Structure formats: structure tokens, C-alpha cells
Chain A
Amino acid sequence: MFRGSLLVCTMLVVFAGCSGGGGVIGDSCRGNGDCDGTLQCLNHRCVARCLRAPECGDGYSCDQHGSCQLATGQAGAACQSEVDCAAGLSCQIHGASVDNNRPLSTCSPDRATGPSGTPCTVDSECRNGTCGFGRCIDLCRQTRDCSIGNSCAIIPSNAPYGGCLPSAGRVVWSIPVTKPQDEILLPVPDVARSAQLVMSVDDPGQKVGAKSVLSPEGTRVYDLCSPPSAGPPGCDRTMALDQYFKNQVRHQPAFSQSVLALPSGASTFEPGVYRVEVSSFQANDEAGSAIPHVTAVVQLAAGSILDLHFFFLDLAGHSCTAKTNNAPLDASTAQSAGYFQQDYLGELRTVFDSAGLEIGATSYQDVLDHPELDGLAVADVGSLLRLGTFTTGINVFFVRSLSPMGLQAFGPNPGPAGLGGTAQSGIVIALDTLCYRSWTALARLTAHELARYMGLSHNVELETAQHSSWRDPISDSDDSSNNLMFFSEHAEPGAELSVGTELSPGQRDILMRSPVLR
């Protein structure tokens, strides 16, 4: 009877704002009933009701009614969440010990180190002894236990546990590698939409990449075809490509830097711990000597906004200035010229709108102090893309020409998200194309390259006619030349050659998972 009345009263306090005692913020009180219905009585003062436990201070939880509740867990008491432990204590995991499929964790004295969210590399750097995804993580049972802007996610480990992670955006952290060939673990929380490993080596003469990837279920989702000298059976070019297209996860080691993105197809992504064998390679594909640097990027929630950052090399005096109103294309003109804002950006918006994505912020800047990159050989693309310093969205560089001549655009597939200043931080568009294509066609070309950066493969390859398996890993994409990801231009009767614009639901899904989105 009494409990029932209390519940009714509490419900009224929360949802109807019953008058209670009418105390305002700061008034003294002995219970919630002394305060205005929108407030609670905490430490004998009327204060705002809580949404999250950290608003209550150390040693409290926030209940479903918005009232702060004093935690009772003393040192040594078992806990699952930071809010279980009294002030001065934090819920800490004890090594790899497991209790009832959960990590053994108890309330333990706070360490004099970083609070939740502080960058870290080892557990000892965190107040609560838990470092994950490059940041100190508070243990949690539900999102209410975490501070605003964070959600309680299931963190995979030998025994999964609840941890507070940002509710949106992505987490980026370094994974230490100590030898040229090493196995690393990539934890993917349940809330993740996608994950990337960006692997690089300091020696530009060596390649770097993954040799194998095991999914959390133990399925080999990627395997690198070994070169002939690395042991039987060896791989020629065709076998290597067969293997590349057979893998559920598309990846190829590359000079200086490569990116492994999960998922490549529509249905190969699961939370848990991925085991990835990373390696450096000599130019002949034998084992390398360089120690890879590995950065992990996990997209925590769906994004839908793609920011674009345009960079303009010195394009003055280009042969195709008729398409730029006989004036040089640069950062200033691009921001106001109709051909750029309406014809080019407008078409880009149309293409991505059909994929459920929005072109968000755009920025414009000139790159006039690198004349050596104005006309760019593909072999030197890395030098240009390193100038792409933005870490959100995608950097887009306009150069005078690309060599070999005829190449209209170039970029990594996939590109690194969340990392600026790398040899793959952007895409390149050749202004030469405007000598024979419209701004609309150039926009579609750019969209194709952006989509590759975001993880889409060609729906069919040039050599698919000879090798039927050489195509994208997305089950619902067809072979249409109208597809945005068709390997070449095509033309409708009477129209100019151009890139298609269609995307299948599976292709759209991959785009929407991309960690370049916000």
C-alpha cells in the first residue's frame, strides 16, 4: 500500500510536475517532496533531476525517475557499472578473470590517472583501470550510467562488458605493433557501423597490409594470396586477383599505406574481436622488415552528412578555361561560380541524395606553393594527398592533369577516415577532363571516386567478361553500366559519355556506414 502510494507520487513528480513542497533550486530540503516537481532533493538541497549518473557526482547512480541514488558498493564489492561503487571507488576489471561470462570486476580505489574519455594506451593510465579504443572507459550497465553524449555499448573482450562510448561519430586509436609481421586484435562494439585499420610503414619502398583476417566467429574473411617465393602454392597475378575478389573483405597491401575496411559487402560485419595478421612486404611481396603502424577507426553510429574539402592547385592558364568562364578556377571563384556551385556541387548533391546522404559543409582552399604537384603523376599522388589535413569528410584535390594522360580521377579504395595528412587522405580530379566533359559529368566522376573512398568497389571490373567472379561483393548490385560504380563511362544515345548514378540498396548501405560521414 505504502509502496504503491510512493510509486504514484513519484510518477506524479516526474511526469505531472506535482507541486510537492515548491522548493526551488538551492532551497534546503529533507526529501524530494520538499522540492518543486521538476527537482529532486540531493544532499539537503533542491537540485535539477538527473538524466545521467555523472550529473549526480561521484558515487551516485541516476534512477529511471531522474533521482540520484547513493551507491553502496564498498571496496572489494562486485560491480558491473561505475555507478555501483561509492565515492572514491571505481568499478575495475581484474585482468582476464571471468565470472559468469562477465569480466570479474570489483569496486576499487580510484587511481590518480585519467578519467573516462581521457586518451590512453594502457589500462594503468586510467582512473578506473580500463583503457579501450584509445580512451579510458567507464563500465556501465545502461546508457544512464554514462555522461551525456555517451552510450553504454557492449565492449568485446575475452568476456564482454558494458562500457561508455561516444553516442555518435567515431573512435580512433593506435594499435601497437612490435614486429614486421604481427597479429593484432580489432575490437568492434555492438553499436559499431563499420571499422577500419589504416596500416602504414615509414619506408616508402615497402608495402604494408593485412595477411589474414578472422571474424569474431572464427571465419576467415580475408586471406592474402602468397607470392611464389613465400611458399607453395604461390600466386600469379590472376590467382591473386581471384583471391582478392573471393575474399569477403576486400583489401590489398600497398606501398606506404593501405586501408582495410569492414564491411566490404552488405552482410559481413559482426561485433566482436577480429584477429588481423598485419605485415610489411618487400616490393617483390616477400616479407618486409618495416614495422607497421596501425590506426583503428570505428564508426559508432550511422552518419548521413558528407563534408567535402576542395583544394585547388595552380590552375591558371589551363587549356580548358572556356569551362571556367575564361578565368582560373581557384578557391575564391569556386565558392561563387555557377558552374561549380550549381552544375558541379548540385549534381554531387543529387547523386548522394539518392543514396540518402547529404553533402554537408564545404571548404575551399588554394594550394599555390606546390608547383611540382600542379600536373601530377599517379606515382606522386601520395605527396599531394598528404596535404589533405581535414579529418572529417573527404579532401578533394583539383590538379591540372593526371599522368598517365587520360586518367580522369584517382583515389584510394577505400580511403582512410578520420586521418588527415596521410598518403591516402583524399581524391584527385584532373581538370583536363573539362576539355571534353561537362561540369555535370565531372561531378559524377567525382561521386564515383568519393564512393570508392567510402568503400564501394566497381560493380563490375574491366575484366569481368573473362573472370566472372571479378566484381563487387554486394549481392544486390547488378552489372548495369548506369551504376555509379561501373568501371567506365557510358553514354545514353545522343548524350555525352559519363558515369552512371544508380546505386543498389546494398551499395547505399555500405556508403551510409562509412566512417567519413558525420
Chain B
Amino acid sequence: MRLRLLACVGLLCALPASGSNALLTPPVVQALTSIDEVPSQTALDTAFGSQVAIDGLKAIADDPMVDLGIALPAIRALPAYCPRGPQACGLGTVHDKLTSLVDGFTALHQPQDSLRLRAAIEALGATRSGLASDAAELVALLGNESRDVRAAAVGAIRNICSKAAIAPLSTHLFTEPSLQVRFAITTALRDLAQCPGG
């Protein structure tokens, strides 16, 4: 009875992104707009039902019409669909999607684009790819005018865990105006020293 009621409530839930290309069923909206928790991969798979979850998440990430409250968690959830194994997310569709999202959102300049960019940056970091190319892409964002974007980039560089980022981060530390970002760089440099590789 209660489950039926839940389903009924779900059907009544209005889809917030009129004109959206993404398939936003009520379960998907509810899963992605969880207020104080990050939806698990199992929960997302269930929410997407017969649709392949990774495809649904990508569609949402690509769609500028989707409500940000839905889009940000969708972008952030992508790394959960990386192949298993150490640094196994350096290749494949998830990684490629995230790098293309970072590229695409960097070129946009509305406040909401900045949030999408930060979500993509953070998600790319969460792949922990170890790739110097990923680190280089993120280092390029240290010149972004938003300190939130720069802080997100530093955090992602730290998670990527490529020692190739140490030198540019060290250089940037001397010119970075934001205390928040400088603190993040200091922390990242400490952790990057422990990463594998020369």
C-alpha cells in the first residue's frame, strides 16, 4: 500500500526540466535530488530501471536544460561507473565524458556553468586516473577567475595523483591570491609527494 502510494506520488512529481532531452522519470529525479546523501550506484541503477544508468547520467550531464539540482549529482555520479581496479578509470567512456565535460563547461561563463564545471572537475578527480594529461588539463584551470573553480581543480589534481602536477602547482602557489586555494595547494603538494611515479 505504502509502496503504491510512493509510486503514485512519484508519478505526480513534475519534471522540472521542460524541453530536456534527458529521460527524467520521477525515480531518477528523486534519486539525484537526495538532500543530504549521495545516491549509491545500486540506487541509481534501480532508479533508471530499464534504461542503462550510465547512459542516462551522461544524457543529463549533457543537457543544459536540466535543473542543476539534478545535473550536478548526475555529473558527480559518473565516476561510480568506472571500470573496477586501480587507475582503471583512465580510459573508457566515463573518463572521456568527464574530460569533454570539463572542456565544454570551461568555455561557458554563466554562474550555473561554473557549478557544472566544478562538478565535472571534481568527478574527473574522483577517477583517480593518475594520468599526467588529466593533471595538465586541470592545471590549466588554475587561471580561472573563480576561486571556487581553482579550489576544485586543486582538489581534483590531488585526487588524480600524478606527480607531474607538483611543479606547476608549486609555481602557482606563489601567485595564487586566495587563501582557500593556497591552503588546498599546500595540502595537495603534501599528498602528491606520496603518489607513485617519478
A432: which of B13, B70, B115, B187 is its contact (CB, 8 Å)?
B115
Determine the distance from Cα of A489 to Cα of B152 in the docked complex, in whole angstroms: 26
Q: Is the CB of A481 within 8 A of B118?
A: no
Beyond A405-B118, A436-B112, whether A319 also contacts B76 by CB under 8 A is no
The answer, yes or no, to whether A48 is at the interface (CB within 8 Å) is: no
The answer, yes or no, to whether B134 is at the interface (CB within 8 Å) is: no
The answer, yes or no, to whether A466 is at the interface (CB within 8 Å) is: yes
Q: Is the CB of A318 within 8 A of B155?
A: no
Closest A residue by C-beta to B113: A319
Inter-chain contact count A-B, CB under 8 Å? Answer: 155
The answer, yes or no, to whether A121 is at the interface (CB within 8 Å) is: no
Determine the distance from Cα of A89 to Cα of B65 in the docked complex, in whole angstroms: 79
Could you say which residues of chain B place their CB within 8 Å of the CB of A478? 2, 5
Determine the distance from Cα of A432 to Cα of B115 in the docked complex, in whole angstroms: 8
Which B111-164 residues sit within 8 Å CB-CB of chain A?
111-112, 114-115, 118-119, 122-123, 126, 146-148, 151-152, 155
Beyond A322-B111, A372-B184, whether A497 also contacts B72 by CB under 8 A is no
Question: How many residues of A sit at the interface, in one of the four size bands?
Answer: 35 or more
Pick from B32-40, B93-101, B190-198 the stretch touching chain A: B32-40
Q: Is the CB of B73 within 8 A of A406?
A: yes
Determine the distance from Cα of A433 to Cα of B68 in the docked complex, in whole angstroms: 9
Closest A residue by C-beta to B126: A404
Beyond A437-B69, A481-B9, A488-B34, whether A468 also contacts B180 by CB under 8 A is no
Q: How far is the CB of B180 from chain A (nearest CB, A)?
A: 4
Determine the distance from Cα of A491 to Cα of B32 in the docked complex, in whole angstroms: 14
Could you say which residues of chain A place their CB within 8 Å of the CB of B178? 371
The answer, yes or no, to whether B43 is at the interface (CB within 8 Å) is: yes
The answer, yes or no, to whether A508 is at the interface (CB within 8 Å) is: no
Could you say which residues of chain B place their CB within 8 Å of the CB of A497? 16, 29, 33, 67, 69-70
Closest A residue by C-beta to B71: A406
Q: Is the CB of A404 within 8 A of B115?
A: no
Determine the distance from Cα of A214 to Cα of B7 in the docked complex, in whole angstroms: 37
The A interface, classified by DSSP as helix, strand, loop or mixed, is loop
Determine the distance from Cα of A403 to Cα of B184 in the docked complex, in whole angstroms: 14
Could you say which residues of chain B place their CB within 8 Å of the CB of A314? 180
The answer, yes or no, to whether A409 is at the interface (CB within 8 Å) is: yes
Which A443-464 residues sit within 8 Å CB-CB of chain B?
445, 448-449, 452, 460, 462-464
Interface residues as binary, B49-85 with A (CB distance below 8 Å gives 1, 0 otherwise): 0000000000000000001111011111000000000
Could you say which residues of chain A place their CB within 8 Å of the CB of B42? 463
Closest A residue by C-beta to B7: A465
A319: which of B33, B148, B151 is its contact (CB, 8 Å)?
B148
The answer, yes or no, to whether A421 is at the interface (CB within 8 Å) is: no
Q: Is the CB of B6 within 8 A of A449?
A: no
Determine the distance from Cα of A317 to Cα of B149 in the docked complex, in whole angstroms: 12
The answer, yes or no, to whether B14 is at the interface (CB within 8 Å) is: yes
Closest A residue by C-beta to B1: A479
Q: Is the CB of B36 within 8 A of A404?
A: no
Beyond A435-B111, A436-B67, A487-B30, whether A400 also contacts B148 by CB under 8 A is yes
B34: which of A319, A435, A462 is its contact (CB, 8 Å)?
A462
The answer, yes or no, to whether A492 is at the interface (CB within 8 Å) is: yes
Which A470-490 residues sit within 8 Å CB-CB of chain B?
471, 478-481, 487-490
Q: Is the CB of B75 within 8 A of A319?
A: no
Which B14-45 residues sit within 8 Å CB-CB of chain A?
14, 16, 27, 29-39, 42-43
Could you say which residues of chain B place their CB within 8 Å of the CB of A432? 115
The answer, yes or no, to whether A408 is at the interface (CB within 8 Å) is: yes
Q: Contacts A319-B111, A488-B33, A495-B14 given; 6 further ones with Cβ under 8 A?
A: A318-B148, A375-B152, A401-B152, A405-B152, A410-B36, A491-B16
| 12 A-B pairs with C-beta separation under 8 A | A317-B146, A372-B180, A405-B73, A460-B6, A465-B3, A479-B9, A480-B5, A487-B30, A495-B14, A497-B29, A497-B70, A499-B35
In order of increasing CB-CB distance, the 8 nearest A-B pairs are A406-B73, A406-B72, A436-B68, A371-B179, A319-B111, A405-B119, A489-B33, A371-B180
Chain B residues packing against A (C-beta within 8 Å):
2-3, 5-7, 9-10, 13-14, 16, 27, 29-39, 42-43, 46, 67-70, 72-76, 111-112, 114-115, 118-119, 122-123, 126, 146-148, 151-152, 155, 178-180, 182-184, 187
